Amino acid sequence: MSIDPVLVTGATGFLGRTLCPYLADRGYRVRALIRRTSSHTYLDSLGVEKVWGDLGDPQALREAVQGCRSVIHTAALFRFWGRREDFWKVNVEGTRNLLEAAREASVARFVHISTIAVVGKPPRDGLITEETPCYPQDAYQASKLEAERLSLQFGRDHGLPVIVLRPGAIYGPWGSPKLPPYAFNRLFLTDPLRGLALRVHNGRHITFPVFVRDVAWAAEAALTRGRVGEIYNICGPCASHREIGEILERVVERRIRWIPVPAWGVVALAWLWTALSPLTGREPYYPIGLYPYVFYDWRVSSEKAQRELGYQPTPLEEGLRETWEWYREVCTGVTLSHSHKRK
- Give yes or no on whether 6-171+209-234 and 184-207+239-298+315-341 have one common fold: no
- Which among 175, 154, 178, 177 has a CA at the least distance from the CA of 164? 154
- The torsion region of residue 5 among left (phi > 0), alpha (psi -120 to 50) and beta comes to beta
- Is 230 strand, coil or helix? coil
Q: Could you report the per-residue pLDDT of 85-137, keeping only the tens digit for each?
A: 999 999 999 999 999 999 999 999 999 999 999 999 999 888 999 999 999 99
Instruction: Give, in order, the Cα–Cα distances in Å from 154 to each of 95, 97, 234.
Output: 11, 11, 22
| Cα-based angle 234, 240, 243 (whole degrees, multiple of 5) | 110
Assess contact for 194 and 248: CB atoms under 8 A.
Answer: no
Q: Could you report the per-residue pLDDT of 238-247, keeping only the tens digit for each?
A: 999 999 999 9
Q: Could you report the per-residue pLDDT of 268-313, keeping only the tens digit for each?
A: 999 999 999 988 888 999 999 999 999 999 999 999 999 999 999 9
- Which among 52, 41, 162 has a CA at the least distance from the CA of 96? 162
For the chain, give the percent of residues with pLDDT over 70: 96
Q: φ and ψ at 9, to 5 degrees?
A: -90, 155
Q: Is the dihedral of CA 33, 89, 161, 229 positive or negative?
A: positive
Per-residue confidence (pLDDT) for residue 180, from 0 to 100:
78
- Give me the count of residues in the chain: 343
Per-residue confidence (pLDDT) for residue 170, from 0 to 100:
97
Assess contact for 295 and 87: CB atoms under 8 A.
Answer: no
Residue 336 has pLDDT above 70, yes or no: no
Q: Sort 3 into a burial class: Cβ within 10 Å, 0-12 / 13-18 / 19+.
A: exposed
The domain ranges of the chain are: 6-171+209-234, 184-207+239-298+315-341
Higher per-residue confidence, 337 vs 219: 219
Per-residue confidence (pLDDT) for residue 342, from 0 to 100:
40
Q: Are strands 339-341 and 231-234 parallel, antiparallel or unpaired?
A: unpaired
- Is 316 strand, coil or helix? helix
The mean pLDDT value of the chain amounts to 92
Per-residue confidence (pLDDT) for residue 1, from 0 to 100:
53
- At residue 340 the predicted structure's pLDDT band, cuts being 50, 70 and 90, is very low
Total-model pTM = 0.93
Q: Could you report the per-residue pLDDT of 41-81, keeping only the tens digit for each?
A: 888 889 999 999 999 999 999 999 999 999 999 999 999 99
- Please report, as a single letter, which amino acid is at residue 152: L
- At residue 341 the predicted structure's pLDDT band, cuts being 50, 70 and 90, is very low
Per-residue confidence (pLDDT) for residue 337, from 0 to 100:
44
Residue 188 has pLDDT above 90, yes or no: yes
The class that CATH gives domain 6-171+209-234 is: alpha beta
The CATH number fitting domain 184-207+239-298+315-341, selected from 3.50.4, 3.90.25, 3.20.20, 1.10.3470: 3.90.25
